[in-house]
Amino acid sequence: MMPGIVAMKYFNLFENVAEGFWCLGHPLDGQGRELDDPWQFSAGEPAHFKGQIRLPVDLEGEARDYSHAAFSTPVVNAKLAALFQELAPKDVELIPVEVDSHAGPYFILNALRAIPCIDTEASSDVVYWTEEDGIPEKVGTLSYISEMRIDPLKVGDAKVFRPSEWEVSLIVSEDIKDAMERAGITGAKFEAVTGPPTVDPVRRAETKRRGELWDQAHHARAAVWRGLGTMSDDFYIPPVVGGPWPAKSQHWIALRRPDGHMLIVTDGLSDPYSDILDRPTAGFGLELAIETPEPLGEVWKSWPVHLLERVAYEVAELEKLRVTLSKGTLSMEVDGVGLPETLVTPEGRVAVLIGMETDSLPSRFMLPGGEVRLLTVKVLMPAELQWLLRQGKGAAAELIRRFNEAGEGHLSRSWRQPVVS
C-alpha cells in the first residue's frame, strides 16, 4: 500500500441465526413453483428472473430487518432497503418479494458485482478442490476458507459486492456497517475481512484441527463414493452452510452408477462433530442414499435431490428418528411442495421408507471416526403409505418383500404401480 493511502475497511455480512425468529424458505414464482435457479441472487450479477417472487415461511417466528431465505438469499425490509438504496445505489438491485403472512414490503438484496479480491496469503485454512474429490472441473478452485481477508485496493469504489473466488460471501463497506448499526438493524452480524486476523491463536489452532478432522472424513467418504459411480461437475449440488448436521454444513453428492441409474447421497451426516477436537468422530454414524433409474436433467433441481434434502434435515434435526433407525427400517413423511404430484398425498406430504437393504450398495463403511451405515431412502406411492398405516406392526417388512418380488427393490421412481391394493 502506498504511503498516505488509507484503505477502506470491509465486512462479511451474515444472518445472525437465533431461536425465536422466522426461517424463510425456497424462493417461489407467482404460481408457487420453486425457482429454477435460486443461486442467481448470490452470483454478483443482475438476477435474470423478472417475475413475481414469493417466499414461504418455513418456521414461524419474529421477523427481522435482515434475513436469509434458502440458498443464503439475502432478504431485507423497507427500512434496510432504503439504506442500501441511499448508500450503494449502483451496487445492488432490490427485488420485491412477497413473504407469506407478512405485509412487508420486503426485497431480495442482490449484489451486482463479483470482484476478484481474496488475499489467500492473509486468510486462514484456504482449501482447494483436488483431483481426489472426483470433480475435475473444480480442481484448483476454493472449496473452503476461514478468516477470509480481501485486498481492499482491488475493490475500487464498490460498497457492496461478492468476492468472485467465493461468491457465497456478501461484503459491505464500513460506512454501510456503521449505518446499519446506527439504525438498529436486526438480524445482521458482521465479520471483518480487512485488517489483521481477529481470531486468537487458540481459536486458530482449533479451526485448523477441525479442518484436519473434516478432511480425513471427507477424503475417506470420497473413496467410498468413487467406488459406487462417477461424479461430474454437471451433477454438482450446491452445499448449504448451517443447519443441524454435525459440522454445521450440508453437502450432497450425485453419482452416475455403472447401469446408468443416478445415485444421490448425503455427504456429511457422518462428519466429525464440530465441537469435538481431541479425536476423530463419525457424527451421526450414517449417510442416506436415494437411487433412481429416471433421467433427471439438471440434477440439483431434481425431485430426488429435494426429497433427500428434506429427509436428511428431519433425520439430522430429530434424535428420536436416528434412534429408531438404529433398530431397523423407518417410514416417515416430509413436505411435498414442489415434488411430483404422483407422490403427494391428499395432505400434501410425501412418504419414504428408510433403511431397506440392498446388495447393490454397501450397508456400512469405515471412517477414521468409526463405522458409518449407508441407509437407502425409497419413496412410497400414496397408496402404499395408506396401506402401511392400516396394517401396523410388521407391515414394513411385508412391503419390502413385495418391492423385491416386483423387482423394484430400493429404487425410487416418480410414478409406478403400487405393490399393494
pLDDT, one tens digit per residue, over 301-348 is 899 999 999 999 999 999 999 999 999 999 999 999 889 999 999 999
Which DSSP string do the residues of 198-267 spell out, in sequence order?
A: -S-HHHHHHHHHHHHHHHHHHHHHHHHHHTT-B--GGG----EE-SSSTTSEE-EEEEE-TTS-EEEEES
Domain boundary among 171, 194, 217: 194
Q: Are residues 170 and 248 in the same domain?
A: no
Taking the C-alpha atoms of residue 362 and residue 374, their distance in angstroms, rounded to an integer, is: 7
Please check whether residue 105 is in contact with residue 77, taking contact to mean a CB–CB distance below 8 angstroms: yes
Q: Are residues 272 and 391 in the same domain?
A: yes
Instruction: Return the SS3 of 180.
Output: helix
pLDDT, position 4? 45
Task: Fill in the DSSP letter of residue 99.
Answer: E
More confident residue, 335 or 7: 335
Domain boundary among 150, 169, 194: 194
Instruction: Return the SS3 of 77.
Output: strand
Structure confidence at residue 396 as a pLDDT band (50, 70, 90): very high
Q: Are residues 23 and 169 in the same domain?
A: yes
Structure confidence at residue 364 as a pLDDT band (50, 70, 90): very high
Count the domains in the chain. Answer: 2
Expressed as residue numbers, the domain containing 398 is 229-405
Domain boundary among 141, 170, 194: 194
Taking the C-alpha atoms of residue 181 and residue 179, their distance in angstroms, rounded to an integer, is: 5
pLDDT, position 246? 94
Q: Are residues 281 and 352 in the same domain?
A: yes
Mean pLDDT on 349-378: 97
pLDDT, position 199? 63
C-alpha cell at 174: 464500513
Q: Are residues 171 and 273 in the same domain?
A: no
Taking the C-alpha atoms of residue 192 and residue 392, their distance in angstroms, rounded to an integer, is: 56
Taking the C-alpha atoms of residue 251 and residue 362, their distance in angstroms, rounded to an integer, is: 20
Mean pLDDT on 159-185: 96
**Own/partner pairs for 148-151, CB < 8 Å, 24+ apart?**
148/12, 148/118, 148/123, 148/193, 149/118, 149/119, 149/122, 149/123, 149/193, 149/194, 149/197, 150/10, 150/117, 150/118, 150/119, 150/193, 150/194, 151/117, 151/118, 151/119
Structure confidence at residue 195 as a pLDDT band (50, 70, 90): confident
In this structure, is residue 128 part of a structural domain? no
Taking the C-alpha atoms of residue 293 and residue 174, their distance in angstroms, rounded to an integer, is: 52
pLDDT, position 126? 84
Mean predicted lDDT score pLDDT of the chain: 91
Structure confidence at residue 6 as a pLDDT band (50, 70, 90): low
pLDDT digits (tens, 9 = 90+) for 345-358: 999 999 999 999 99
Q: Are residues 246 and 362 in the same domain?
A: yes
Taking the C-alpha atoms of residue 198 and residue 195, their distance in angstroms, rounded to an integer, is: 8
In this structure, is residue 385 part of a structural domain? yes
Mean pLDDT on 151-172: 95
pLDDT at 132 over 80: no
In this structure, is residue 81 part of a structural domain? yes
Q: Are residues 279 and 359 in the same domain?
A: yes
In this structure, is residue 90 part of a structural domain? yes
Taking the C-alpha atoms of residue 113 and residue 158, their distance in angstroms, rounded to an integer, is: 8
Structure confidence at residue 206 as a pLDDT band (50, 70, 90): confident
Q: Are residues 181 and 236 in the same domain?
A: no
Mean pLDDT on 185-214: 85
In this structure, is residue 212 part of a structural domain? no
Number of CB atoms found within 10 A of residue 223's CB: 11
Taking the C-alpha atoms of residue 190 and residue 173, their distance in angstroms, rounded to an integer, is: 11
Taking the C-alpha atoms of residue 217 and residue 362, their distance in angstroms, rounded to an integer, is: 17
Distances in whole angstroms, Cα of residue 214 to Cα of each of 49, 164, 200, 207, 219: 37, 25, 21, 10, 9
CA-wise closest residue to 253 among 262, 241, 266, 242? 266
In the numeric block, the cell 475435475 is attached to: 136
Taking the C-alpha atoms of residue 196 and residue 149, their distance in angstroms, rounded to an integer, is: 9
Q: Are residues 184 and 62 in the same domain?
A: yes
More confident residue, 357 or 101: 357
CA 380, distance to chain mean position in Å, is: 24
Q: Are residues 46 and 168 in the same domain?
A: yes
Q: Are residues 291 and 168 in the same domain?
A: no
In this structure, is residue 207 part of a structural domain? no
pLDDT, position 232? 86
CA-wise closest residue to 261 among 224, 315, 204, 299? 299
pLDDT, position 297? 87
In this structure, is residue 133 part of a structural domain? no
In this structure, is residue 203 part of a structural domain? no
Query: What's the predicted TM-score (pTM) here?
Result: 0.67
Q: Are residues 174 and 71 in the same domain?
A: yes
